[in-house]
Homo-oligomer: A and B are copies of this chain.
């Protein structure tokens, strides 16, 4: 079986290779190009996005190369010997700037910038989009769930509904977003994520009696028993049996950890179950829920319906990033051959910002995020930033505290930052999220976080636009 890292140079849209070959034969190998990764709108009508996928992506970029087998394959696709010869020694040797993985980010911000020769910058495009788009989508989804779940436990259960191996990165991104654990054992090993999961319906079904199934499980796993109580009838059978077993466990000096609800009306059942458990003196036994959950359902359960739930397993909607299923991040040429470049669009809002840029965050007196500014790479952050189209809307941010969010992460092909553990990225992300005002976190019509642009960039853009006449 082929494994990705052995053939990572082929993990690209074929047009990147045909373009790369064409750059090669136009003798434009040494042209330096700058590309920006950004997205134009958030998924889930969210007020923010959690930027994820970066650190793993950087490692893959440093491995981006072509094996003999890859070269042979490309030859069969009609690629030319001189270019194949060039690919033999291919390595990414450029520079990459990026905001930190886990950062809270917004539409139309240059999040990652690649400075390299045209061929190098082009060949890694698909990999960048593939890793950042998906992981940012899932980290954002997970953050929304974490935001409503509060201190309750929250586990990724998405393996069975994910896009095959995408499940692995879904688990990673879910943790950055705030998940405590994953059911995906492979992802658990790969990223040192706590793994969770105790029993399924099949365990209960495979015994003649539910209580026998519960008893056996508790006997073998006295320190980690969560009983699934809905196989036959939650209130008439599952919970009474769980209570009996919990009492038997107490006699052995053990404690039932929780019961799990996986069907029925979770609000109604959880309130009933809480009462039954408490009445039996089992206040310490938790109630966890699963079954087609998402952040809106969890919010309603907790905030509106008084559900008595201590934890959630979220599968399908988390791992597939529903309702949207994709973050539409793009990778656009902003400078080449020393000239600012632009993609004109009939849709004015889709016109990209030219030039090699950086992202700066300004803070208010309370230390909350106030504005983000898109500036030229070497520009002094003490300035006035402008609405990208309506210049009478502008803010003087020159007196505010700021942070330059974009840092160099790859220098001459080598990673030049210290890579962090997943736990550290998660922690960073959760801390940053606290600095985002509540009105941007609303599920319905969140307040738009304002991202301004330096006037110098807008002037260059407007000049480029003026050069291209277009029909109205």
Q: A residues engaging B (CB < 8 A)?
A: 1-5, 7, 10-19, 21-23, 25-26, 28, 31, 33, 35, 53, 59, 70, 73, 77-78, 118, 122, 125-126, 129-131, 133-135, 157, 159-170, 183-186, 188-190, 195-203, 205-206, 208, 216-217, 220-221, 223-224, 231-233, 235-237, 263-264, 316, 319-323, 325-329, 332-333, 336-337, 339, 341-347, 350, 468-471
Contacts and interface: CB of A to CB of B under 8 A. Distances in A.
A326 B316 contact: yes
A284 to B, nearest CB: 21
Given A130-B160, A321-B325, A337-B206, A21 B189 contact: no
19 contacts: A3-B5, A7-B189, A12-B186, A13-B157, A13-B159, A14-B183, A14-B188, A22-B220, A73-B188, A131-B164, A165-B166, A166-B167, A201-B333, A206-B341, A208-B339, A231-B343, A231-B344, A235-B471, A263-B350
B170 A163 contact: yes
A67 to B, nearest CB: 11
A186 B15 contact: no
Contacts of A224: 18, 78
A164 B139 CA distance: 14
Contact of A183 (B15, B157, B164, B264): B15
Contacts of A325: 316, 320-322, 325
A172 to B, nearest CB: 9
Given A134-B162, A162-B134, A336-B206, A186 B11 contact: yes
A164 B161 contact: no
Contacts of A337: 206
Nearest to A172: B164
Given A220-B22, A333-B201, A185 B12 contact: yes
Contact of A189 (B73, B316, B468): B73
A356 B28 CA distance: 65
A164 B232 contact: no
Given A13-B197, A320-B320, 5 more contacts: A3-B5, A22-B199, A122-B202, A129-B161, A164-B165
Contacts of A19: 198-200, 202-203
* Cβ-closest 3 pairs across A and B: A163-B166, A15-B197, A166-B166
A247 B157 CA distance: 58
Determine which residue in A70, A166, A337, A468 has the highest number of CB atoms from chain B within 10 A of its CB, and name it.
A166
Contact of A165 (B168, B200, B201): B168
A2 B126 contact: no
A246 to B, nearest CB: 17
Determine which residue in A161, A185, A320, A350 has the highest number of CB atoms from chain B within 10 A of its CB, and name it.
A185
Nearest to A78: B224
Contacts of A164: 53, 130-131, 134-135, 165-166, 168-169
Nearest to A155: B14
A118 B319 CA distance: 28
A167 B4 CA distance: 12
Nearest to A327: B161
A316 B328 contact: yes
A13 B2 CA distance: 24
A226 to B, nearest CB: 9
Contacts of A323: 323
B14 A161 contact: no
A288 to B, nearest CB: 12
B22 A326 contact: no
Given A118-B206, A220-B21, A341-B206, A161 B201 contact: no
A30 B59 CA distance: 45
Nearest to A128: B160
Determine which residue in A131, A161, A199, A322 has the highest number of CB atoms from chain B within 10 A of its CB, and name it.
A161
Contacts of A162: 130, 134, 163, 166
B170 A2 contact: no
B18 A161 contact: no
Contacts of A320: 163, 320, 325-326
